């Protein structure tokens, strides 16, 4: 296991495709932002464990019961690149007043 220290707004990069950023630190809670390709499933540990249990149960009950798929969380980028020079700002861009 790799153990790293990160401060607020610092990130780590995994495999050049996954970015984990520290968004907020409260007393005993750390809020993480995870940016990953859409085809790469990202789950909390307890959800992952439930999915695995469901797969095991469905393989034991072949054809007798179907296990619904877990809904995939909506992944949004941590930051978006600015519009190209000469292009109007996108509707979700913040423009200075």
Within-domain flag for 34: yes
Contact 93, 86 (CB under 8 A): no
Q: How many independent structural domains does the chain possess? A: 1
User: Pick from 67, 41, 43, 47: which is nearest to 56 by CA?
Assistant: 67
According to DSSP, residue 93 is labeled: S
> Is residue 41 situated within a structural domain?
yes
pTM metric for this prediction: 0.57
Query: Which domain range does residue 35 map to?
Result: 11-60
Give the pLDDT of the chain (97 residues) as one tens digit per residue: 999 999 999 999 999 999 999 999 999 999 999 999 999 999 999 999 999 999 998 888 775 555 566 666 666 666 655 566 666 655 544 444 4
């Amino acid at each position: 296991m790799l153990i790293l220290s990160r401060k607020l707004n610092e990130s780590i990069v995994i495999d050049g495709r996954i970015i984990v950023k520290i968004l907020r630190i409260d007393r005993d809670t750390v809020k993480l932002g995870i940016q990953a390709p859409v085809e790469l499933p990202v789950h909390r540990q307890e959800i992952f464990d439930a999915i695995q249990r469901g797969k095991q149960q469905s393989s034991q009950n072949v054809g007798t019961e179907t296990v619904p798929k877990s809904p995939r969380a909506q992944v949004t980028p941590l930051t978006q690149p600015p519009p190209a020079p000469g292009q109007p700002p996108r509707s979700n861009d913040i423009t200075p007043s």
